[in-house]
Amino acid sequence: CDGATGIKSVTMFRPPAYLGAECGVKRMLKLVVILSLAAIAAQGQDASRPIINTTGGQIQGVTSSCGLFCSYFAFNGIPYAQPPVGDLRFRNPRPHQGWQGIKDGSEHRETCPSGGFLGGVSGSEDCLYLNVYTQNVIGSRPVMVWIHGGSFTGGSGNSWIYGPDNLMPEDVVVVTINYRLGILGFFSTDDTHAAGNWGMKDCVMALQWVRNNIANFGGDANNVTIFGESAGGVAVHYLVLSNKASGLFHKAIAQSGTALVPWGFQYRPRELAYQLADKLGYSHDSAQLVQSLRNTPIERLLEVQGGWLDIDIPRGFKPFEFVPNAEPVNSPEETFLTQLPIDILNAGTFNHVPFIAGYMSMESMFMVYEHTIDNTVWDEFTRHPEYFVPHFWNIPHGTAASSAVSQTIRQTYWQDRPLGPDIMQQWMTFHTDQQFIYAIDKTVRLHAQRSQAPTYYYQFSFDGDLNLVKRLLLLGSWPGAMHADDIPYLWSVTDLTISPILPTNHARTVSNRFVRLFTNFARFGNPTPNAVDTLLQSRQWQPVGATVHYMEIGHDLVTGINPNGQRTSVWHDLEARYANDPFRFPRP
């Protein structure tokens, strides 16, 4: 390499063939860098603000820091679809028509409309934007597309919560997206006038944009992983189930949610459409109703959209109002989903891609506060023992089967003691299983049985200084990791004021492990591809097969079999003995 560096190389300890290969690689890398810098200079570009060509036009990024000696390019607010306003409200997304000149990608754009914390409206209907983060626009790296959570009614993909700092050092390209929420994203008349699933179709269009453009950002369009948490995890699983998304991604990670969770599938959209019409004084005729809703100010729509306190007891056991649904097969627009999730899973007609699913050890810890805001909960459950019976098991109330299921669940969790504060720990565990674990466990088993690709299963149980949700809600005295506690282990949450987490803090080690497992999976389809990896404690995460293997993500990584098996076996046994067409719902 003498001519390339101007310094004589010491060769006595290296074989000549090795030296020649290394010198060739060095020269090639240097040539790539020189040509890249020359191209930037020729275009008069600032190297810290690269300009990238997309199918819609040019976007100029900005350099951001991800720590000491770590930086990346951020391309924020890239439109991937036309604003779904006017006549495009309650219609499938249309590709963006492009723009003239160079679009500034230094700032995020509007988020999709949701109710503000203190009332009012946050966001704008012109919200279908995505963000791309990459350390190098040259090359071909694994792509990870994040779908945010928020009960399908709130949130965005912006870096205030989902900053990519933790992921960037693993040399992946990260994309975060916005999609329509609430009424605007999931209203349906259950007929040809408004089929629904607009938000899910937005996700598909965003993935189409990734396929067509990500190579210009240093990403590999043939190695795309979708991942998301809570409603985002449910959305990821719906994409796995939908043939409309086939070929747009190659791996999937569903955190704390799948299409089988009791709150994630709306099986009576027409009834909800009529309720919405009554609230607004509109006709029940679908064509008239949809046209009236297109002309209704967004503030009025969000005003009548229900919130958490508007959900009837038992909360979290039945579908949220505006979530994905099965569309009519005769819809005039292309459909996203026309079958029940359980039917797709049982038939094995989903996208067979490597799949990770898992949950937090105490997902429903937030239910502690339900009793603070509604002191009728204990009494209502006592008066209505059928509330303990999953509605998706289709067991008639007042039957011997209903009584047997209710009695078994109460006995299993708190030995059928009177409901009250004394059983709060057991109450949270029951809600965790009813709202999350049983459905996720069922999903994992069905995937392992039907899919030709590997399925991986995990439980996140670590409780440390990055469990920010738990600490912000002042729930630190309760054991376990709660819903959304995993977010700060993957993402840099800049919207929350926290004390700095030192590199020596074990929470940072757990974060690094969590990120490494997911980025390994994105790169190789296997979260532990190397037999020796000191960060991952040289653990091997086995896929689920006849044996339900899983990875416990706690203080240490621990492999095991059948997580929470004693509890989940109760649910699976009751389902087998008493359920009628479980996870199937009557269509009107």
Residue 3 within any structural domain of the chain: no
CB-based contacts of 317, cutoff 8 Å, min separation 6: 262, 263, 387, 390, 391, 434, 435
Does the annotation count 237 as an active-site position? Answer: no
Q: What angle do CA 323, 328, 333 make, to 5 degrees?
A: 90
Residue 37 within any structural domain of the chain: no
Q: What pLDDT is stored for residue 585 in this prediction?
A: 80
Q: Closest Cα to residue 492, out of 29, 188, 66, 156?
A: 66
CB-based contacts of 108, cutoff 8 Å, min separation 6: 76, 77, 129, 131, 156, 158, 159, 160
Q: Closest Cα to residue 241, out of 353, 357, 350?
A: 350
Range of the domain at 440: 359-500+507-578
Amino acid at 542: Q
Residue 483 within any structural domain of the chain: yes
In a shared domain, residues 371 and 315: no
3's tokens: 């001519």
Amino acid at 522: A
Beta strand 129-134 pairing with 173-177: antiparallel
Q: Closest Cα to residue 550, out of 464, 411, 456?
A: 456
In a shared domain, residues 274 and 333: yes
Residue 25 within any structural domain of the chain: no
In a shared domain, residues 327 and 230: yes
Does the annotation count 406 as an active-site position? Answer: no
Does the annotation count 363 as an active-site position? Answer: yes
* Annotated catalytic residue within 64, 159, 188, 230: 230
CB-based contacts of 374, cutoff 8 Å, min separation 6: 309, 313
Q: What pLDDT is stored for residue 207 in this prediction?
A: 98
DSSP states of 291-320: HHHHTS-HHHHHHHS--GGGSPSSTTSS--
In a shared domain, residues 325 and 364: no
In a shared domain, residues 452 and 379: yes
Mapping DSSP to helix (H, G, I), strand (E, B) and coil, where does residue 71 land? strand
In a shared domain, residues 277 and 375: no
CB-based contacts of 243, cutoff 8 Å, min separation 6: 349, 351
* Annotated catalytic residue within 110, 327, 363, 370: 363
In a shared domain, residues 477 and 540: yes
What's the half-sphere exposure (Cβ side, CA atoms, 13 Å) at 549?
A: 15
Q: What pLDDT is stored for residue 16 in this prediction?
A: 35
Mapping DSSP to helix (H, G, I), strand (E, B) and coil, where does residue 500 land? coil
| pLDDT tens per residue across all 588 residues of the chain | 433 333 333 232 333 333 343 344 344 444 444 444 444 444 556 889 999 999 999 999 999 999 889 999 999 999 999 999 999 999 999 999 999 999 999 999 999 999 755 456 789 999 999 999 999 999 999 999 999 999 999 999 999 899 999 999 999 999 999 999 999 999 999 999 999 999 999 999 999 999 999 999 999 999 999 999 999 999 999 999 999 999 999 999 999 999 999 999 999 999 999 999 999 999 999 999 999 999 999 999 999 987 777 788 999 999 999 999 999 999 999 999 999 999 999 999 999 999 999 999 999 999 999 988 999 999 999 999 999 999 999 999 999 999 999 999 999 999 999 999 999 999 999 999 999 999 999 999 999 999 999 999 999 999 999 999 999 999 999 999 999 999 999 999 976 656 678 889 999 999 999 999 999 999 999 999 999 999 999 999 999 999 999 999 999 999 999 999 999 999 999 999 999 999 998 644
Could you tell me which residues are beta bridge partners of residue 559?
Answer: 551
**Count of CB atoms within 10 A of residue 251's CB?**
25
Residue 434 within any structural domain of the chain: yes
- Contact predicate 168/65, CB 8 Å: no
Mapping DSSP to helix (H, G, I), strand (E, B) and coil, where does residue 325 land? coil
- Contact predicate 217/173, CB 8 Å: yes
The Cα–Cα gap between 241 and 249 comes to: 12
In a shared domain, residues 151 and 292: yes
pTM of the model: 0.92
97's tokens: 């028509």
- Phi, psi at residue 76, to the nearest 5°? -95, 150
The Cα–Cα gap between 148 and 158 comes to: 9
Structural domain count, the chain: 2
Edge-to-edge strands, sheet with 355-360: 62-67, 70-79, 129-134, 173-177, 141-147, 219-229, 251-255, 355-360, 455-460, 549-553, 557-561
Q: What pLDDT is stored for residue 565 in this prediction?
A: 97
Residue that finishes a domain, picked among 282, 303, 337? 337
Amino acid at 457: Y
Q: What pLDDT is stored for residue 302 in this prediction?
A: 93
CB-based contacts of 155, cutoff 8 Å, min separation 6: 111, 114, 148, 149, 161, 181, 231
Residue 9 within any structural domain of the chain: no
Q: What pLDDT is stored for residue 477 in this prediction?
A: 95
- Contact predicate 37/22, CB 8 Å: no
* Annotated catalytic residue within 193, 250, 483, 549: 483
Residue that finishes a domain, picked among 306, 337, 368? 337
Helices 231-241, 198-213: axis angle to 10 degrees equals: 70
The CATH number covering residue 75 comes to 3.40.50.1820
In a shared domain, residues 320 and 371: no
In a shared domain, residues 383 and 316: no
Q: What pLDDT is stored for residue 43 in this prediction?
A: 52
Residue 92 within any structural domain of the chain: yes
In a shared domain, residues 366 and 333: no
Residue 438 within any structural domain of the chain: yes
Residue that finishes a domain, picked among 304, 337, 370? 337
Q: Closest Cα to residue 511, out of 472, 551, 555, 552?
A: 555
Q: What pLDDT is stored for residue 19 in this prediction?
A: 33
- Torsion, Cα of 228, 234, 236, 238 (10° steps): -170
Q: Is the peptide bond before 164 cis (omega within 30 degrees of 0)?
A: no
In a shared domain, residues 265 and 390: no
Q: Taking the mean position of all CA atoms in its chain, how far away is CA 31?
A: 40
The Cα–Cα gap between 266 and 398 comes to: 25
